[in-house]
Amino acid sequence: MPHALPVLNDRFRTAESYRASITRYLLLPLRFLSLDSNRYVLTNFAGEYAVLSKETARRFIRHELETASAAYEELKSKHFLIDDDSTVALDLLAVKYRTKQSLLANFTSLFMFVVTLRCDHSCPYCQVSRQSVDRHAYDMKPEDADRAIDFMFRSPSPAIKVEFQGGEPLLNFDLIRHIVERVNGRAESQNRDIQFVIATNLANLTDEILQFCRAHRILISTSLDGPRELHNQNRPRPGDDSYEATVHGIRRVREAVGADRIAALMTTTHASLGQPREIVDEYVRQGFLSIFLRPLSPFGFAVKTGLVAKYTVDQWLDFYRSTLSYVVELNHRGVPFREEYSALILRKMLTPYPTGYVDLQSPAGMGIGGLVFNYDGGIYASDEARMLAETGDRRFRLGDVGTDSFEDVMLSDSLVEVLSTTMTEGAPMCTDCGFQPYCGSDPVYHYATQRDIVGFKPSSGFCRKNMEVMRHLIQLLEDDPQAASVLRTWL
Average pLDDT over residues 445-463: 92
Beta-bridge partner residues of 164: 113, 198
112 and 94 fall within a common domain:
no
CA distance 130 to 116: 9
118 and 250 fall within a common domain:
yes
Asked if pLDDT for residue 143 goes beyond 70, the answer is yes
> Given 56, 75, 100, which residue is the final one in a domain?
100
360 and 213 fall within a common domain:
yes
Residues 317 and 468 sit within 8 Å (Cβ to Cβ): yes
**Amino acid identity for residue 394 in this structure:** R
> Beta strand pairing status for 193-199 and 159-165?
parallel
230 and 351 fall within a common domain:
yes
Number of domains in the chain: 3
Residue 293 is assigned to a structural domain of this protein: yes
Asked if pLDDT for residue 410 goes beyond 80, the answer is yes
381 and 473 fall within a common domain:
no
Residues 99 and 348 sit within 8 Å (Cβ to Cβ): no
CA distance 364 to 417: 11
28 and 128 fall within a common domain:
no
Residue 489 is assigned to a structural domain of this protein: no
What pLDDT is attached to residue 337?
98
Residue 415 is assigned to a structural domain of this protein: no
- Give the DSSP letter of residue 394: -
What pLDDT is attached to residue 368?
87
CA distance 409 to 331: 46
The CATH code of the domain that includes 279 is: 3.20.20.70
Tell me the percentage of the chain whose pLDDT exceeds 90.
71
What pLDDT is attached to residue 441?
87
> Given 73, 100, 127, which residue is the final one in a domain?
100
CA distance 399 to 347: 34
Asked if pLDDT for residue 45 goes beyond 90, the answer is no
319 and 337 fall within a common domain:
yes
318 and 255 fall within a common domain:
yes
> Beta strand pairing status for 370-373 and 338-339?
unpaired
40 and 119 fall within a common domain:
no
What does the pLDDT look like over 283-314, one tens digit per residue?
999 999 999 999 988 876 667 777 778 899 99
What pLDDT is attached to residue 436?
95
Residue 67 is assigned to a structural domain of this protein: yes
How many residues would you count in the chain? 491
Indicate the pLDDT class of residue 22, thresholds 50, 70 and 90. very low
Asked if pLDDT for residue 276 goes beyond 50, the answer is yes
Tell me the percentage of the chain whose pLDDT exceeds 70.
94
CA distance 398 to 378: 8
Asked if pLDDT for residue 23 goes beyond 80, the answer is no
Tell which wins on pLDDT, 309 or 267. 267
Tell which wins on pLDDT, 253 or 389. 253
Residues 466 and 320 sit within 8 Å (Cβ to Cβ): no
What pLDDT is attached to residue 374?
96
Tell which wins on pLDDT, 248 or 16. 248
> Given 57, 80, 100, which residue is the final one in a domain?
100
User: Is the peptide bond prior to 167 cis by the omega test (within 30 degrees of 0)?
Assistant: yes
Asked if pLDDT for residue 353 goes beyond 70, the answer is yes
Neighbouring residues of 227: CB distance < 8 A, sequence distance ≥ 6: 243, 275, 278, 279, 281, 282
What pLDDT is attached to residue 93?
84
Average pLDDT over residues 452-478: 96
What pLDDT is attached to residue 225?
97
Containing structural domain, residue 89: 22-100
What pLDDT is attached to residue 89?
75
Least confident of 9-13, 120-124, 180-184, 294-298: 9-13
Tell which wins on pLDDT, 117 or 6. 117
437 and 469 fall within a common domain:
yes
What does the pLDDT look like over 322-332, one tens digit per residue?
999 999 999 99
Residue 488 is assigned to a structural domain of this protein: no
41 and 136 fall within a common domain:
no
Residue 16 is assigned to a structural domain of this protein: no
Element (H, E) at 452: none
> Average pLDDT over the chain, rounded to whole?
90
Beta-bridge partner residues of 109: none
| Buried/exposed code over 347-385 (b: 16+ C-beta within 10 A; e: otherwise) | bbbbebebbbbbbbbbbbbbbbbbbbbbbbbbbbbbbbb
Residue 294 is assigned to a structural domain of this protein: yes
Average pLDDT over residues 447-475: 95
Residue 204 is assigned to a structural domain of this protein: yes
311 and 169 fall within a common domain:
yes
What does the pLDDT look like over 75-132, one tens digit per residue?
999 999 998 877 777 888 888 888 888 877 778 899 999 999 999 998 888 766 677 7
Average pLDDT over residues 391-399: 89
Residue among 344, 367, 372 at smallest CA distance from 357:
344
CA distance 476 to 491: 15
* pTM score: 0.90
